[in-house]
Every structure is written in C-alpha cells, then in structure tokens.
Amino acid sequence: MKTIENKLVNFLISESTVIAVITLNAIVMFFDAFPTISQLTSGKLFWIDYTCVVYFIIEAFLKIMYLDCEEYWDNNWNKFDFFVVISSAPTLLEPFFEVKIFTAVLILRLGRLARFFKLLRFVPDGPKIWLGVKRALRASVAVFLALLLLNIIFGMGATILFSSVAPEHFENPIISCYTIFKVFTVEGWHEIPDAVSARSDIASGVSIIIKLYFIAAVVIGGILGLSLANAVFVDEMTADNTLPLELMIDKLQAEINIFRTENINNRKMANEQLNTAIENLRKENLDNREKSNEIIIKEIESIKKMLEAKL
C-alpha cells in the first residue's frame, strides 16, 4: 500500500502532470471566456476549471507534506505556486457565492509553463543566444530608462499644451504618454497631429505648433532614441561573433606586455653586465698601466745604472 501511495503522490506532483493540468486549465479558461462556447457546454468547462483548482490545492499541500519544508520554500516556483493557490482558493466557493473575480488569478499559473523554456537548451548555440539576450537587456537598461523619461517629458508637455485642444489624446499625463508612445514607434505617427490640426476649431498657429511638437517627438524619441536602443541591443547580441577576436587581442596584448617586461629586464641586465665589464676593463687597464709603468721605471733605472758604470 505504501508503494502505491508513493507512486500516486509522485504522479500527482510530477512536473509532467502539473504542466499538463496547467495547460488544460489554460485551454478551458480560454474557451470558457467565449459566451457562445460557454452556453454550448452548459457549464461543463466551469467544472473542469473547478477540478483544476482543487488539483492545484492538493498538489501544493502534497508537496509541503512530502518534501522537506526548507527544500519546498527554497524553490521560488513553489513560493509562486503557493501564493497563486491561496489567492485562487476562494474560487471553490463560486458554486455557492459570486466570487468569479478570483478566477482571473489562475492565469498566473501559466507562469509555470515558463519551464518549457528548458527545451530551448536543445536549440543550436542556445546558451550563447540566451546569454547574448541577457547581456543585451542589461546593456539596454539605461537606454530604456532614457526613453521612458523622454516619453514622460513629451507626455507632460503635450498635456499642458494640448489637453484643451484634443482631450481624447492629451486629457491627462497617462493618456498623453500613451499617445506619445505611439508616436515614438514612428508607424503612423502623423495620423494624430494631422487629425487634431485638421479640426475646424484649431487655429493655424496652433496647428503648426502641434505638427512641430510631434516632429520633435518623432526625431528625438522615435528616430534617435529607438535607433540607439536597437544599436545597443544588436551590438550586445552580436558581441559573441567578435568574442574570439577579442580574446585573441587580449592574449596578444598580454604577450606584448610580457615581452616588454622581459625586454626591459633584459636591457637592465645587459646594461648591468656592460657596466660591470667596463669597470673590469678599467680596473684591468689601470693594473696594466701600473705594471707597465713599473717595468718602464725599472728599465730606466737599469739604464741609468749602466750609464753611471761606464762613466
């Protein structure tokens, strides 16, 4: 009995079973959102969804019971699952009370499907690609923040200037920022200023200001900003292509530095040896000169003696 129980528990909390139920729950929630399908199924999809919720609760508590507590809470996916289970538990009361709002929380369970990204390791050069994406995102953070700041600045300016002229586009900073964001994408950016300036109650001077304002937004945020963001992202993504060359350059630079160091040391040693040789030569020369002088003096003395003897 113990073996059967363990097998059943392992099956219920296994990765494949969890992902299968998540997928089923997502499909059921998707089709149940269509009123016609919901009417045709006569509420059957709801009970499938209800069963999935029950399964998620059972799966969470089985993991807590059969896994070590520290092991369970050390896993971030388990923490996420437990939060979703607690948040979606009120849906069990739906047959008796109106708590349908909690059903939307189950969409968060789709986050578990992110584990399918493990399959990406079979993509050729997959690890290199994901490393490039991670590096590119990290390098693009400053550019994205700059674009966000530009969006806020242009959005606030548009609210101040044009809120009374075109409230549907610039009524408040949030709507204005969304409008400016659409302008930043460049695609169809002229439609908004053209539509606003074409109104009969818009003066010609205001129409020119609107067009100039949007031209500035497109040039600064759309053309320059997005081009810079794309350039940084692509440059970091393609950095792996030049990585071998960079490693070769670094290796060559290291070898040159070693060669320079060795050359300097060799020159120092050569200079020291040369100086030592010169000093030795000087000493030998001095010794030889002293000996030669002594020999010459002795010869002169002997010559003097010979001359004195003859005289």
Q: Residue 3 has which token pair?
A: 């073996």
Q: Which of 12, 22, 126 is nearest to 65 (CA)?
A: 12
How is domain 126-237 classified at the CATH fold level? Helix Hairpins (1.10.287)
pLDDT value of residue 91: 67
pLDDT value of residue 99: 47
Domains of the chain, residue spans = 2-119, 126-237
pLDDT value of residue 70: 72
The pTM (predicted TM-score) of the whole model is 0.48
pLDDT value of residue 243: 61
Asked whether the domain spanning 126-237 has the same topology as the one spanning 2-119, the reply is: no
Packed helices 44-66 and 76-88: angle between N→C axes, nearest 10 degrees: 140
pLDDT value of residue 190: 80
The CA distance from 284 to 287, in Å, is 5
pLDDT value of residue 126: 60
pLDDT value of residue 205: 76
How is domain 2-119 classified at the CATH fold level? Four Helix Bundle (Hemerythrin (Met), subunit A) (1.20.120)
Q: For every one of its 311 residues, what pLDDT tens digit does the chain have, with 9 covering 90 and above?
A: 567 767 777 777 787 887 788 778 778 877 877 878 878 887 788 788 888 888 888 888 888 787 767 777 777 767 777 777 777 676 677 666 654 555 555 555 554 455 455 555 556 666 666 666 677 777 777 778 888 888 888 888 888 888 877 888 888 888 888 888 888 887 777 888 887 777 767 777 777 888 888 888 888 888 888 788 777 777 766 666 566 666 777 788 888 888 888 788 778 887 788 888 788 777 777 777 777 777 777 777 777 777 767 66
